[in-house]
Amino acid sequence: MIHVLKPGLLTTIQDFGRYGHQKHGVIASGVMDQEAYRIANLLVGNEQHAPVLEVTLMGPVLEFQQDVCLSICGGDLTPMVNGERVGTWKPLYIKQGSELRFGKPKTGFRAYLAVAGGFDIPLTMNSASTYIRAGIGGHQGRPLEKGDVLEPSDFSHLSNRVMEQLKADTGDSSFHEASWYVGHDFNHNGYTKDPIRIMPGREYDWFDEESRGRLTSETFNINSKSDRMGYRLTGCRLSAVEERDLLSEAVTFGTIQVPAEGNPIILLADRQTTGGYPKIAQVASVDLPRLAQMRPGESFSFTMITHEEAQRLYLQQEKDIKLLARGIEMKLK
Amino acid sequence: MDWSLHPLGDQAVLIEFGNEISEEINQTVQAAASSLDEWQPEWMIEYIPAFTTVTLFYDPLYIANHKTSRNQLPYDWVHHQVSQFLSTLTIKESGSARTVEIPVCYGGELGPDLSYVAEKNGLTEEEVIEKHMNGDYLVYMIGFAPGFPYIGGMDPAIATPRRKDPRLKIPSGTVGIAGAQTGVYPLETPGGWQLIGRTPSKMFDPSNEESPTLLQAGDRIQFKRITQEEYENLKEGGE
């Protein structure tokens, strides 16, 4: 059992997302940084899409009533076990009675906490992701609160191996971390300032030449009203050549739409299924994890690539993750 | 039937059948959606139908691993597959559409803006209710919230602009008017609609995995007037 002593700013159970019901208007939800999420699961021997905790900026305080093996990937929000700093992007073994808390956030915005076995959460419409507005999924359909109790599911064979191995090295201490961690190619340490790669959206041509130019020449700032549904950007306004009505149609993770007032919005994990604003661009899938680690108040810029490049980059990234998964498996065995 | 294909990011393709709201185009959308249900190719993740489009989400990795040769882009492969699919798509005669009856208790505390809608349009409250019940309603699409229907066919005589100060909480089941549209709120949400009544029917039921929403795109709607007492009884019976 894992006791929630303090919930943190916004800590929710998420998995890969709720797919198959968007036609019913049910949003996809799911983790914001899919890469960190998948790797967190791999590090504790879970299947990649097991439910995890998505921790936002100010982390929770958790008390373990049993021995656990866990990993924390994504932003470095300064995790500490029994007051001692522990590393991210590696498996950890923690003994019963220990406490995990987070300090001052160092890099990134969200961390993913995976436990060996995954969190035992009943699936709603095929997903464990928390959909707060509908009150479904996750832990009772809401973010964690003080006093909540979470249970890990049964371990996989591989999880068991990790557990036994780390346990053997723990000795008398209350916890032990693996001596290795996932390299910089994946953990974006410091989260680079490279421009976010985008491709033209379906209504790209609706925008005047000046606005299209500004999209990639100017810097945008993530507004404080941003959330898991979307990043609201300020910096320079983009305007359509003419005011035309657009019929609502499907949008997706990373769609950049521009309402009439001209400030773009990047749609994220908790986006609605459909939208009626002109779509100037679309963030390449490979850059969504990096975007998800940016904090409100941060500035960044865009660079344009082709749709073809975006898809090739995606396939390459999947290849890299597959290799990494094999590497981790070797380490764990 | 005309159609064109457009990429939506690197993992979806949008099929466009037209660019105006019409029952005919929407019928094609519904036909494509039900054919996709039958087809269910293993590389498709899901699809989202809208007024004049169907967007198909696919798995580029699966396609690259199982379907394409070394250098072919998954999008190009999907483009070809979907084009073939569309060339064999047939539109079935209408008449197969379901009619879903939605009981509504109009006015009173469940429909606090009914009098405003009446006054604004120079009608009595009874006339507004009459006109709202007699509309020939078609659900064009579901979006915005789980089970939220975009409904066409409301009598323009009861069209009313949105409130200037949106309410922070509109209870689920509320029936409202916004401009020339009418709709039913499946979840408690903030909103600026004029509230004319409430239905005891559950618009969204996540425990029903097969069909979690009362309404589906392509449905016809018949609003049926009920009393407050009937509303309370149905509400209790339903929960």
- Per residue in B56-78, pLDDT (tens digit) is 999 999 999 999 987 899 999 99
Pick the residue from chain A with its C-alpha nearest to B172. A134
Are A249 and B186 a contacting pair at CB < 8 A? no
Residue % of chain B over a pLDDT of 90: 79
Partner A contacted by B204 (CB < 8 A): yes
Q: What is the pLDDT of residue A187?
A: 58
Q: Which two tokens stand for residue A145?
A: 């609160």
Contact B145 A272 (CB under 8 A): yes
Reading phi first (left if > 0) and then psi (alpha if -120 to 50, else beta), residue A141 is in: left
Q: Report ipTM (2 d.p.).
A: 0.95
Measured in angstroms, the CA of B125 and the nearest CA of chain A are apart by 32
Structure tokens at A129: 């992701």
Which residue matches tokens 């699809």?
B47
Residue B128 CB coordination number (10 Å): 28
Q: What confidence tier does B192 reach under pLDDT thresholds 50, 70, 90?
A: confident
8 A C-beta contact, residue B203 and residue B213? yes
Do B73 and A312 count as a contact with CB atoms less than 8 A apart?
A: yes
Could you tell me which chain B residue has the CA closest to the CA of A134? B187
d(CA A45, nearest CA chain B) in Å = 22
pLDDT digits (tens, 9 = 90+) for A39-83: 999 999 999 999 999 999 999 999 999 999 999 999 999 999 999
How far apart are the C-alpha atoms of B230 and A303, rounded to whole Å? Answer: 59
> Position of tokens 């919230």?
B145
Q: Which amino acid is at A231?
A: Y
DSSP H helical ranges for chain A: 34-43, 157-170, 184-187, 209-217, 288-292, 307-332
Measured distance CA(A187)–CA(B5) in Å, rounded: 36
User: Of B190 and B151, which is predicted with more confidence?
Assistant: B151
CB pairs under 8 A between A and B: 136
- Specify which residues A84 forms β-bridges with: A81
User: Are A311 and B75 an interchain contact pair (Cβ–Cβ within 8 Å)?
Assistant: yes
Distance between CA atoms of A74 and A89, rounded to whole angstroms?
8
On chain A, the residues whose CB falls within 8 A of the CB of B48 are 22-23, 249-250, 273-274
| Chain A residues with beta carbon closer than 8 angstroms to that of B212 | 21, 24, 26, 125
The Cα A131–Cα A151 span in angstroms is 20
d(CA B89, CA B27): 12
What per-residue string of b and e applies to B5-22 under the rule 16 or more CB within 10 Å gives b?
bbbbbbbbbbbbbbeebe
Q: Tell me which chain A residue has its CA closest to the CA of residue B209.
A: A125
Within 8 A of A248 by CB-CB distance, chain B residues are 50-51, 141, 143, 150
Cβ distance of B8 and A250 shorter than 8 Å: yes
pLDDT higher than 70, residue A175? yes
Give residue for tokens 């983790």.
Answer: A31
Return the SS3 of B234.
helix
Within 3-42 of B, beta carbons closer than 8 Å to A belong to 6-12, 14, 19-21, 33
Whether the CB of B141 is below 8 Å from some CB of chain A: the reply is: yes
- Report whether B176 contacts B166 (CB < 8 A): no
pLDDT in tens, B114-165: 999 999 999 999 999 999 999 999 999 998 889 999 999 999 999 999 888 8
Say yes or no for a CB contact (<8 Å) between B146 and A249. no
Asked whether the whole model's pTM tops 0.90, one would answer: yes
**Which pair of structure tokens corresponds to residue A232?**
């609201």
CB contact under 8 A, B145 and A25: yes
